[in-house]
């Protein structure tokens, strides 16, 4: 190493023959490290004279007054999905009366995940808000093992261990499909979100529950999985029409996907709502500008942002506070697309 270059976590990890996450865990006193790995890391730290930034600045027992809002999605998804901007507004509102700074972090690959864990290890932030977490994402466990306060926007499963705030996805989806059935629709399809996310599974379950509640069997041929994008909604609608040309309604698990579905319906000459009624989820600004205007399940996304920020601030102030799970109510907003 050249003179004047300060060793980093990456340098320590390479010298110790372990991953950067293991180094981070040792620095933060985690018990989730073997004795052998711990000894190797401590030896490398001593040999390299490594000092974390937070220690160098005397911040080990103090706060940075900064939190990270982490979104493991691409820039294109961030820019096209109104959900994210609404969450950011809600978080910003909750932080407005505090001195806490907000860092927006996109984590799109392993390198960016490592950069985030380095920041956490050196205590450059006091806590993390995680949005749009998929089942396979290791970040929640990594952050939890490092002892950093972490709160989720939406849960990973009904057994979620971390604090979270989210919408009543199951209830909102059930209400949406009940509405379509009450309008005399007899073949209601659904376009789901990713099924490696609790939000996707819960909204699909709401469709199933409403169908069965009406005395019918849930026909899985009326289910198409997409990715919360307009293109995904368009392709899913095309697939549904190929398999079920007589379907008369569709519940899409987001407004963005509903807008894509409506484009495909019009391309195929289907009238909305005469031939096919459409309902979305979110009640974002998109719902008011589709043609016809989109019936949608309103979820309080800014409220979710504010709630997760408050939960995180509480956990930063008192690390021993019990973890909390908050479910906010939804409301069906009926417009021309389903009338």
Cβ proximity of 161 and 144 under 8 Å: yes
Residue position matching structure tokens 């007054």: 65
Give the β-pairing of 295-298 and 277-282: parallel
Task: Read off the pTM.
Answer: 0.81
Cα first-last separation, the chain: 70
pLDDT, tens digit, 9 for 90 and up, residues 284-313: 999 999 999 999 999 999 999 999 999 999
The structural domains of the chain, with segments of one domain joined by +, span: 9-51, 66-165+302-327, 169-298
Which CATH superfamily groups domain 66-165+302-327?
A: Response regulator (3.40.50.2300)
Cβ proximity of 299 and 328 under 8 Å: yes
Cβ proximity of 202 and 294 under 8 Å: no
Q: For domain 9-51, which CATH number applies: 3.40.190.10, 1.10.260.40, 3.30.160.20, 3.30.590.20?
A: 1.10.260.40
Element (H, E) at 40: helix 35-48
pLDDT reported for residue 5: 66
Q: Is the pLDDT of residue 3 over 80?
A: no
Element (H, E) at 244: none
Q: Is the pLDDT of residue 4 over 60?
A: no
Q: What are the CA-CA distances from residue 173 to residues 18, 127, 168 (Å)?
A: 45, 32, 9
pLDDT, tens digit, 9 for 90 and up, residues 136-158: 888 898 888 888 899 999 999 99
Cα angle: 25, vertex 318, 138; to 5 degrees: 35
Confidence class of residue 30 from pLDDT cuts 50, 70 and 90? low
Q: From CA 90, how far away is CA 87, in angstroms rounded? A: 5
Under CATH, to which class is 169-298 assigned? alpha beta
């Amino acid at each position: 190493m050249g003179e004047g270059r300060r060793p980093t976590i990456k340098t320590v990890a390479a010298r110790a023959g372990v991953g950067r996450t293991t180094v981070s865990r040792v620095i933060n006193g985690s018990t989730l490290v073997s004795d052998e790995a711990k000894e190797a890391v401590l030896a490398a730290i001593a040999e390299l004279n490594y000092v974390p930034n937070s220690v160098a600045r005397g911040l080990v027992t103090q706060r940075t007054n900064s939190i990270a809002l982490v979104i493991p999605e691409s820039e294109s998804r961030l820019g096209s999905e109104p959900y994210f901007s609404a969450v950011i507004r809600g978080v910003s509102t909750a932080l407005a009366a505090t001195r806490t700074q907000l860092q927006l972090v996109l984590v799109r690959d392993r390198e960016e995940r490592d950069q985030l864990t380095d920041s956490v290890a050196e205590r450059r932030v006091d806590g993390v808000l995680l949005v749009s977490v998929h089942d396979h994402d290791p970040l929640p466990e990594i952050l939890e093992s490092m002892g950093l306060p972490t709160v989720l926007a939406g849960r990973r499963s009904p057994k979620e261990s971390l604090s979270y705030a989210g919408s009543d996805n199951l209830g909102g989806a059930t209400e949406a499909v009940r509405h379509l059935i009450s309008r005399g629709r007899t073949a209601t399809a659904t376009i789901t979100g990713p099924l490696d996310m609790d939000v996707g599974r819960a909204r699909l379950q709401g469709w199933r529950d409403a169908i069965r509640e009406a005395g019918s069997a849930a026909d899985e041929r009326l289910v198409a999985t997409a990715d919360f994008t307009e293109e995904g909604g368009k392709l899913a609608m095309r697939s549904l029409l190929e398999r079920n040309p007589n379907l008369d309604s569709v519940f899409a698990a987001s407004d963005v996907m509903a807008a894509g579905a409506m484009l495909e319906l019009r391309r195929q000459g289907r009238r909305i709502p005469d031939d096919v009624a459409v309902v979305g989820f979110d009640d974002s600004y998109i719902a008011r500008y589709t043609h016809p205007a989109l019936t949608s399940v309103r979820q309080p996304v800014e409220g979710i942002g504010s709630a997760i920020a408050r939960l995180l601030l509480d956990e930063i102030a008192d690390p021993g506070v019990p973890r909390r799970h908050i479910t906010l109510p939804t409301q069906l907003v009926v417009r021309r697309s389903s009338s």
